Structure 1
Amino acid sequence: MTDAAEPRPLRILHVFRAPLGGLFRHVLDVARGQCERGHAVGIFCDANTGGQRATDVFRELSGQLTLGVTRVPMSRYPSLADAKAQLSAISLQRRLAPDVVHCHGSKGGVYGRLPALLSPRRRYITAYTPHGGSFNYKPGSTEHKVYMSVERLLERATDLFLFESRFIAGRFEAYIGHPPRTDHRIVLNGVSDAEFEPIDHGESRFDLLYLGELRSAKGVDTLIDALALLRRRDGLTPRILIVGSGPDEAELRQMTLERGIADQCVFEPPGPIRKALARAHVMVLPSRAESLPYVILEAAAAAQPLISTDVGGIGEIYGSRHSSRLIKANDPAILAEAIRSMLATPEAERLAQAVDLAAHVRENFRLDSMVDGVIHAYRDAMAARCTI
């Protein structure tokens, strides 16, 4: 029986679009932690993305998510299909009567917060975690300006902003302004204790690993150009495992053929990150844009030697003692030199650097701290709404 002094369990609905990548990992971690703490949790997301992995994950969680998993078709970009998904979101919110609607990413931010615009005296709170989304999409373009106008409109329907990195908090303030009335907090992404177990590279067969989406923002084309430069200029042919999927996969495969490095590259679909890390000595993240990427957090926690560009919140993960190792984005020559230098570094020295970074991550990016920070922020926002 629950003690009367204990806060009552919450009914929490997480709203987002694609069950893919770091955003999905974040939602799953937060949702699992909330379930473990006795809250009733549900998920509303797209039915067309995520593939078998998403299906398997939701099946595994079915016994924990007492508010269920609701999936409806959603589009990545604005379209007429949004109206149907929006009506489904409104219907679900009415049926579940949540205490908290936690929106993730730009599309989730619309689906979860638009109904709140019409309900200024609502009993539930809306929380919003932007992740990156429209804030990183072609800054300065007409599309970006439109997206930011929508964000400014929906700020009025938001009780709580939860930024997972200082970088995105800064982006929000630069494009939208400081939320004048709304609670806003930085609650950093975190990783579990099990993820700090070092990776065994005894069976590694690849020199390099790329793990992530195959799209322009991730800079895989820069990595391919860097490998071509190393081969042409230095006669170096490191083998690379490219793990991921995305809209540019066919184009990137063709690029490896055109650059004459296809024999060095193996493409594989997404899978468990630790298995992939164990297959290569060094991971490379050549991104042009990021928020606070889980792939870096997970690899750093596991003491995987890393090469990464200095974009988004990656510098926050590295901290002041390690950030000098980050490199400029979108420059094949700089990336080629970083790869050449890393592969020439004795393995013991590479691993010592990686272990030092893992210690920094352990101190600053903990899963329990993230989950508890989110729930504490909900409670404060709920208390503030009760005074309206």
Structure 2
Amino acid sequence: MEDRPLRILHCFRSPIGGIFRHVRDLAKEQAAAGCEVGVICDSSTGGEHEEKLFQSIMPYLALGLTRMPIDRSVSPRDIPAFWRSYKQIRSLRPDILHGHGAKGGAMARLAGTALRVNRYRVSRLYSPHGGSMHFDPTRLSGWLVFRLERIQEWATDAIVFVCEFERDAYASKVGAPTVRSEVVYNGVGESDFEPSLPNPDAADFLYVGMLRDLKGPDVFIDAFARAERILRRPLSAMMIGDGPQRDDYLTMMTVRGLGQRIRMAPAMNIREAFKLGKTVVVPSRAEAMPYIVLETLAARKPLIASDVGGIAEVLGRGSKAMAAPGNAQALAEIMAESISDPEWAKRNMPQPEHFHEVFSSQTMAARITNLYKELADFARVESR
């Protein structure tokens, strides 16, 4: 590279959940390494909590924050959205365009390819983050999504997968990548590795995440009730998050008579959330490499999870802390055992030192930024 800072633009749709956390961590680490970083994302998603998160990363965004309406599903409104994003990207003159998720990936690769047609060298990267990999390839919608994924490879310089599971899912559903690909595990920052102690009145179990069936809140509620029956005594739980099915889960708790023992609260800072529960439960039906798993283990809190996505790559294959996805009875049995056995967490959680070595944001950002530099250097040589 020339003797100037690497200019990086991260493109994604929804500023909530794991993708937003991933980009925030990358932005901080890359800015600290001397890069100039910017973000382009949707303006219609997120609330007060997300606005605070944006404010926390603004000092790291030398290329600024651009927000514009970007639909979740494919629609005719994508055309003006992509045109606006292209003009903004062109004005910022990035060396790297990294698209996260299906919409962000399309935005970065289309804009980057248009810039290349105009003889502007820019490297185009894509990270699926689970997203499109959750589609069923036997359905027409899934078939179309995976064909689009394959077509877009011609406009891609590298694909970055967040875990081996995601890479394998891509190979199975789309095909083995025809471009360079790397597996770089998600990581969390040093502040996340500070141990978190629960409040004296903390609930036995804690759910933190989107309130939608894909993330398994209904499985959590069902498993909680079953765990009470196994132990033959009442327990307590907290559910923290926002989402389109919140009222459905509230009704489910009320009908089962659990309204007094399971409390709900809106999304909040994860460190504050951790104080409200003793053991975190991640009952998802599908994931890639969920940040809630990494944040929980970094804070040295016990974790129970569904065996989905890359979670087994963190907890270990065959871990006794995992249940089959959607199996409320199996999840309940683990929850009950974690309550009745004081040594359960010690036996089933990974060693903190090894976990830190593999899953820190410094490790993640260093590997991704080194990939950026290699691609940017190659683009510079190729353009001569």
TM-score strictly above 0.5: yes
Question: What amino acid sits opposite 2:5 in the alignment?
Answer: P
Superposed CA RMSD = 2.0
**Separation (CA, whole Å) in 2 of partners of 1:176 and 1:7:** 39
User: Match of 1:104?
Assistant: 100
Q: 1:117-174 CA deviation, whole Å, 9 max, x = no partner? A: 4445541011111111011134432211111111111111011111111111111111
Percent identity for Structure 1 against Structure 2: 35
Of the three residues 284, 287, 301, the one matched with 2:281 is 284
1:228 is the counterpart of 2:222: no
User: Match of 2:255?
Assistant: 258
1:138-217 equivalences under 5 Å are 138-180=136-178, 182-217=179-214
Q: 1:87-145 CA deviation, whole Å, 9 max, x = no partner? A: 11111111111111110011101111123444455410111111110111344322111
Question: What amino acid sits opposite 1:154 in the alignment?
Answer: Q
1:359 is the counterpart of 2:359: no
**Separation (CA, whole Å) in 2 of partners of 1:246 and 1:303:** 27
User: Match of 1:307?
Assistant: 304
Task: Give the structure-1-normalised TM-score.
Answer: 0.92
Of the three residues 252, 267, 270, the one matched with 1:270 is 267
Secondary structure of the structure 1 residue equivalent to 2:41: strand
User: Match of 1:130?
Assistant: 128
User: Match of 1:387?
Assistant: 382
Question: What amino acid sits opposite 1:271 in the alignment?
Answer: M
What stretches of structure 2 of length at least 5 have no aligned partner? none
User: Match of 2:109?
Assistant: 113
Question: What amino acid sits opposite 2:53 in the alignment?
Answer: V
User: Match of 2:34?
Assistant: 38
1:48 is the counterpart of 2:44: yes
Task: Give the structure-2-normalised TM-score.
Answer: 0.93
Secondary structure of the structure 1 residue equivalent to 2:30: helix
CA contact (8 A) 1:161 1:185 kept: yes
Q: 1:259-315 CA deviation, whole Å, 9 max, x = no partner? A: 221221111111111221122111111111011111000101111011111100001
Secondary structure of the structure 2 residue equivalent to 1:263: coil
1:372 is the counterpart of 2:366: yes
**Separation (CA, whole Å) in 1 of partners of 2:241 and 2:3:** 42
Secondary structure of the structure 1 residue equivalent to 2:151: helix
**Separation (CA, whole Å) in 1 of partners of 2:26 and 2:260:** 41
1:338-349 equivalences under 5 Å are 338-346=334-342, 349=343
Q: Is 256-265 or 136-145 further displaced after alignment?
A: 136-145
Secondary structure of the structure 1 residue equivalent to 2:286: coil
| Residues 60/229 of structure 1: CA separation in 2 closer, same or farther (3 Å cut) | closer
| Residues 186/250 of structure 1: CA separation in 2 closer, same or farther (3 Å cut) | same
Q: 1:198-219 CA deviation, whole Å, 9 max, x = no partner? A: 2212524211100011111111
User: Match of 1:27?
Assistant: 23
Question: What amino acid sits opposite 2:382 in the alignment?
Answer: T
Deviation at 1:372, TM superposition (A): 0.9
CA contact (8 A) 1:319 1:360 kept: no
**Separation (CA, whole Å) in 1 of partners of 2:223 and 2:345:** 23
Question: What amino acid sits opposite 1:381 in the alignment?
Answer: L
CA contact (8 A) 1:300 1:354 kept: no
Deviation at 1:351, TM superposition (A): 4.7
**Separation (CA, whole Å) in 1 of partners of 2:212 and 2:180:** 34
**Separation (CA, whole Å) in 2 of partners of 1:6 and 1:86:** 30
**Separation (CA, whole Å) in 2 of partners of 1:158 and 1:151:** 10
